Amino acid sequence: MENETGSRNFIEQIIDKDLAEGHCKTVRTRFPPEPNGYLHIGHAKAILLNYTLAQAYGGEFNMRFDDTNPTKEKVEFVESIKEDIRWLGADWEDRLFFASDYFAQMYEAAVKLISKGKAYVCDLTPEEIREYRGTLTEPGKESPYRNRSIEENLTLFEEMKNGKYQDGEKVLRAKIDMSSPNINMRDPIIYRVAHMTHHNTGDTWCIYPMYDFAHPIEDAIEGITHSICTLEFEDHRPLYDWVVRELEYEHPPKQIEFAKMYLTNVVTGKRYIKKLVEEQIVDGWDDPRLVSIAALRRRGFTPESIQRFVELCGVSKSNSSVDYAMLEYCIREDLKLKRPRLMAVLDPIKLVIDNYPEGQVEELEADNNLENEALGKRKIPFCRELYIEREDFMEEPPRKYFRLFPGNEVRLMHAYFVKCESFIKDEAGNVTEVHCTYDPETKAGSGFQGRKVKGTIHWVPAPYAVQAEVRLYENLVNEELGVYNEDGSLNLNPNSVRVLKNCQVEPLLAKAEAYDSFQFVRQGFFCADAKDSSPEGLVFNRIVSLKSSYKLPTTK
């Protein structure tokens, strides 16, 4: 877990000190998502940080669902989160837990606080509780129910558990300090009544613990040594410490906060994504235009690229934003040596080689990746009729256009020189066919030393090409105008996806399976869509274009 300069980050320094001073003998971390939506790229940082810390210290990593709020939680989200974390490479082994597994222990913990005079049942309404809490500049005032006897509180809390009261009628509050400068310490609610069916415990409970009470108990029960969370929980740390101290855990966990990872010009808010899904602006939480982990996987990002991205972002105590281009840089760097470079024609027109024998087919050999010989070679059928990109022919070309135009000669990649002799247009004036002649002496790899050409274009053999749909993605939001409008709505990009239906690709790509990725020559990196692609109808998502102006920041 060393950063780019080789120095220890501040969390590692804390852990080193804790181990040296005997606060703990080993390291145990956890990732505790609430199953109320899909995980996004920011969660990837938390997952990998917790996992790699445990690995670095020879410790353990727990997976735990913080499922204390049944109003928003679904089994669908539980399963998607498990799949995401496995895919990222974080292995919880046999340590999969649910906060709801500990509901009985949490109830007993609340009873213990009541018995110590540290918690009480309060009848104030939610509005009254907010009013009594005070402000950042004014202290709160005590609830009129704060000094109920221990016996009365125990009876009322048991009646809450037994379903005697309606939602919101009573709550259990910690008795701390209504004049504390930290509002979180002003007698926070630790249990509320909620007659809801829970995805894991069904209707067993009608009271549920609040996150700030449940979380430290979960950590303590599991023997978590370092509870690593994001900066918004820094003000909650005194309450976290109060809970584990008052409940007298022998080995209290330690909370450490780090800065979230913010990505420029992306949508991560669950509320916004839920609306996009419901309004069918995107086709699910895994739509490739989103940055949920499921969406990035479907788009074609690899676990290694996201791991690298998280490493480059580093760990700090200061919030900052990261350019989306850095994530694209990481996937380019990961794929460029790993994936074969194949030919795909996205906007095809036919090229006919008039002097090539009709019916003849030859197998041409091509390197799968010139920068990685280990990927080997492949055979491509070559024949009289091919498809080329529409943009690779111009009737009246501008200066320095080196591709096909009447009288010009180019190389067909992996094949021969061809010279444009004529072309055919349809009634609308669109070019439909380009006719050429080829020079059989110029076969690629033959050692031909004659004339040179300035242009090389790619192609696919028309009789053997496979039709595919290709989806070209741009940012879901308008980068120039910003993510949000003044009214808080999303400023959507109307051109966030362009669907090309009649693309022609090399025959080898007919075997592409879900998540298989390739570099399409001159076009970018593409991935077979996991939802919509099949042998009967290939669909490829563009992961990223080939080039970017982005430069990795240098460290001094």
Inside any domain, residue 330: no
84 and 171 assigned to the same domain: yes
How many domains does the chain divide into?
3
- Residue 205 backbone dihedrals phi, psi, to 5 degrees: -120, 145
State the CATH number of the domain containing residue 26. Answer: 3.40.50.620
Inside any domain, residue 321: no
56 and 184 assigned to the same domain: yes
Model pLDDT, residue 554: 59
Inside any domain, residue 286: no
State the CATH number of the domain containing residue 522. Answer: 2.40.240.10
CA 289 to centroid of chain Cα atoms: 11
CB-CB neighbours of 239 under 10 Å: 22
450 and 472 assigned to the same domain: no
145 and 221 assigned to the same domain: yes
In sign, the C-alpha dihedral spanning 171, 176, 180, 183 is negative
Strands 431-439 and 348-353: parallel
412 and 514 assigned to the same domain: no
254 and 354 assigned to the same domain: no
Domain that holds residue 512: 336-340+466-544
pTM for this model (two decimals)? 0.90
Inside any domain, residue 51: yes
Instruction: Give tens-digit pLDDT for 355-393.
Output: 999 999 999 999 999 999 999 999 999 999 999 999 999
424 and 519 assigned to the same domain: no
81: CB partners within 8 A, 6+ apart: 33, 35, 38, 39, 65
26 and 81 assigned to the same domain: yes
443 and 514 assigned to the same domain: no
Instruction: Give tens-digit pLDDT for 201-247.
Output: 999 999 999 999 999 999 999 999 999 999 999 999 999 999 999 99
Model pLDDT, residue 549: 65
Q: Which residues of the chain have pLDDT under 70?
A: 1-6, 549-550, 552-556
Model pLDDT, residue 6: 53
Inside any domain, residue 430: yes
Model pLDDT, residue 550: 65
Residue at a domain's end among 423, 458, 493: 458
Inside any domain, residue 325: no
Model pLDDT, residue 5: 41
420 and 530 assigned to the same domain: no
238 and 387 assigned to the same domain: no
- Residue 28 backbone dihedrals phi, psi, to 5 degrees: -135, 120
Inside any domain, residue 158: yes
Inside any domain, residue 293: no
Q: How far apart are CA 69 and CA 239, in angstroms?
A: 19
Tell me the C-alpha to C-alpha distance, in Å, between residue 524 and each of 1, 374, 409, 497. Answer: 32, 21, 26, 15
66 and 128 assigned to the same domain: yes
Query: Judging by beta carbons within 10 Å of its beta carbon (0-12, 13-18, 19+), is residue 510 exposed, middle or buried?
Result: middle
Residue at a domain's end among 213, 242, 258: 258
SS3 188: coil
Tell me the C-alpha to C-alpha distance, in Å, between residue 214 and each of 18, 103, 173. Answer: 24, 9, 13
Give yes or no for a contact between 257 and 231, defined as CB atoms under 8 angstroms apart: yes
With CA atoms as reference, report the closest residue to 38 among 86, 74, 67, 87: 74
Q: How far apart are CA 336 and CA 518, in angstroms?
A: 9
Residue at a domain's end among 223, 258, 293: 258
